[in-house]
């Protein structure tokens, strides 16, 4: 029997911006990124990825490494040639079995909590939108606890982010 699982994402969207600018400023390797229109560029890791902020939680680190191309055989991963209507940069936890969405939200918060001033500076400069996206897959009618701690609300308010919750009920 499958268990209820939750994924949290911090997504940066904009009409057209270079995701590398976000990576360089935040010093965080994104889970996924692309530019508006047809993005033909390969995603190339910065020369010294060890200098970038890395997630301390070992499970989350594995998830990010699976998605960010940091394994040695995946240094230059080609992007599919897809036409996008917007530019995007994001980090995510990946799906985790969970009974409380705060676990995944806190993992994202721990990565970004010291980046508030940078996020506030980038937002108007590149006309960015910030979103905290929570995706919940409910199995066996076991819905996770859903509430937001005050420091998460304060953080999201300060950077002017919206909250997007998607819930899919399977059984």
User: Does residue 75 register a pLDDT over 50?
Assistant: no
Q: Are 54 and 61 in contact (CB under 8 A)?
A: yes
Residue ranges of the domains in the chain? Answer: 5-169
For 19-54, how does the pLDDT look when each residue is reduced to its tens digit (9 = 90+)?
899 999 999 999 888 776 655 555 544 544 444 554
CB 56 within 8 A of CB 111: no
pLDDT band at 57 (very low <50, low <70, confident <90, very high): low
Q: What is the pTM of this model?
A: 0.73
Over residues 144-153, the mean pLDDT reads 94
Average pLDDT over residues 115-139: 96
């Amino acid at each position: 029997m499958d268990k209820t699982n939750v994924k949290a994402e911090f997504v940066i969207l904009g009409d057209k911006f270079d995701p590398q600018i976000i990576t360089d400023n935040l010093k965080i390797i994104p889970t996924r990124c692309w530019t508006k229109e047809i993005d033909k560029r390969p995603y190339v890791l910065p020369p010294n990825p060890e200098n970038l902020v890395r997630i301390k939680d070992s499970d989350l680190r594995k998830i990010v490494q699976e998605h960010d191309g940091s394994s040695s055989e995946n240094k230059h991963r080609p992007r599919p040639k897809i036409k996008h209507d917007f530019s995007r940069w994001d980090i995510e936890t990946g799906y985790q079995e969970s009974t409380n969405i705060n676990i995944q939200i806190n993992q994202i918060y721990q990565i970004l909590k010291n980046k508030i001033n940078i996020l506030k500076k980038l937002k108007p400069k590149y006309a960015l939108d910030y979103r905290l996206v929570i995706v919940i897959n409910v199995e066996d009618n076991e819905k996770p606890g859903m509430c937001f701690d005050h420091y998460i609300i304060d953080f999201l308010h300060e950077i002017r982010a919206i909250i997007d919750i998607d819930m899919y009920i399977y059984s």
